[in-house]
Amino acid sequence: MAIEIRYIGTRDKWGMWVDGKFSNYVEECMVKKIEFATKIQAKATSLAGVRDALGEIVEVYLARGYNEEGADPIKEDDLVGSGIALADLNACITMFQKLSVSTVEDKLTVNKIRNDL
């Protein structure tokens, strides 16, 4: 759900549009609160997208067996010339695993407010 607040000069009022359709007039004192809430919604949407993408990277990493115990682990020799150290790559995967895992409550909270679905 996308929310937009605009001043309507001909009516001397603030209007709120939801998903491109006029919803209702809002009091001026509510404008900053609605704009703040929509910023929170945008950040929650961004966070959800990042969380989802990191989880997918970890899933592919494990599915392809790139992990140390996997069928086709990435080794230092595989990265020669890339400028990427194996230790740094593994540290990033560990960080991605931590960032992509949320509590059920956290996921529900973000999924309720995100506006990209």
What integer pLDDT is reported at residue 112 of this predicted model?
Answer: 87
Residue 28, CA atoms < 13 Å, CB-side half-sphere? 5
Q: In the structure encoding, which two tokens stand for residue 44, read together? A: 């929650």
CA distances from 51 to 40, 65, 87 (A): 16, 21, 22
What integer pLDDT is reported at residue 58 of this predicted model?
Answer: 95
pLDDT one-digit tens code per residue, 1-43: 788 999 999 999 999 999 999 999 999 999 999 999 989 999 9
pLDDT one-digit tens code per residue, 60-106: 999 999 999 999 999 999 999 999 999 999 999 999 998 887 788 88
**H-state helical runs in the chain:** 28-63, 86-100, 104-113
What integer pLDDT is reported at residue 106 of this predicted model?
Answer: 86
